A = this chain, B = another copy of it.
């Protein structure tokens, strides 16, 4: 047994080269159907334009500077959202310069990092408590920067956010009065509503969120505080907030890719919501065919996230992905169509945490690899 030497090459970090055929992509790999992705971007651009609202595309879905740039140059996005300071840092390093951290930022060091980031980009954050306003202001003063701030209300998600009405007004006043902070508006995001599969129930949930946002915006206005931004919405409800006359910035992310869960979120015409297409897949290979009716593929829990259900085998209704273990997926194959090394395209159950598992997006068109994009902010949790 020899020690590793210069002539001993092991592995490579990218699963495919530009120009390779799909068959030559090393699996499991995260692939993007570029035609479908571009159509999805164009659809959302058109919706925002028709509804007369801005799109601030959510980069927590993809964590990719390349995709964020495409959304801003071709997809009608005025800027992007992300959720974590380290995501924003990674995207600013990669040249994205208009970012809403659509989340509270808490803790002295994280707040200082936000302030430093504001030296290089337009940075907006959310707040839901008064202590946080003071800390953000102090860090902005210390770093000689301006930070734009949205007051977040809980409009039904029961996660973060202060209460609508007077508590929100109190925070907005504090922001407006704070040194080096700019009061930029209201954040009213109802995350769980995105995922209500029935369109009537979904509409009802957003009606209530919109009422709360409306009342709060009016209260702000009556007290001399104008909202430049009233932000919220996601892929499942973009058309509801977009047509509300209250919201003016949509924060949708998943529309570019869709996933198996979003495939069950129906629009009011009973089509897939917004007409968005599946554009993201985990390409997997059969690595064991141990008996009739069953195939085992090489994509398990470390290749896709099952928090919202198991993946679906794309355009193969007779193939059912029935169980995931760490590195394996068992597929029911009643017609024994799959052999060793057969490829399957899996629609992941949930796109956002699935992208976060991978280092690269492999963009494909007409059966060939056209782009290889790093998942710029993968693992940027803090």
On chain B, the residues within 8 Å of A330 by CB distance are 158-159
Most chain B CB neighbours (cut-off 10 Å) among A27, A120, A379: A379
CA distance A302 to B103 in the complex (A): 15
Specify which chain B residues have a CB less than 8 angstroms from the CB of A381 in the assembled complex.
28-29, 298-299, 302-303, 327, 357-358
Contacts of A162 in B (CB 8 A): 290
- With most chain B CB atoms within 10 A of its CB, the pick from A84, A119, A381 is A381
A271 within 8 Å of B by Cβ? no
Chain B residues positioned under 8 Å from A299 (CB to CB): 381
**Residues of the B chain whose Cβ atoms lie less than 8 Å from the Cβ of A117:** 10
A160 vs B298: C-alpha distance when bound (angstroms)? 11
Given contacts A106-B340, A290-B162, A325-B159, contact A120 B1 (CB under 8 A): yes
B-chain residues with CB within 8 Å of residue A10 when the two chains form the complex: 89, 92-93, 113, 116-117, 120
Chain B residues near A86: list those with CB within 8 A: 11
**CB 8 Å contact bits of A81-96 with B (1 = contact, 0 = none):** 0011110011011000
Q: List 26 A-B contacts (CB under 8 A).
A: A1-B121, A2-B120, A8-B120, A10-B92, A11-B85, A15-B382, A28-B381, A84-B327, A104-B288, A106-B340, A107-B287, A131-B340, A154-B290, A160-B287, A160-B290, A163-B291, A298-B381, A301-B350, A301-B352, A302-B352, A302-B381, A303-B381, A306-B307, A307-B324, A356-B357, A357-B381
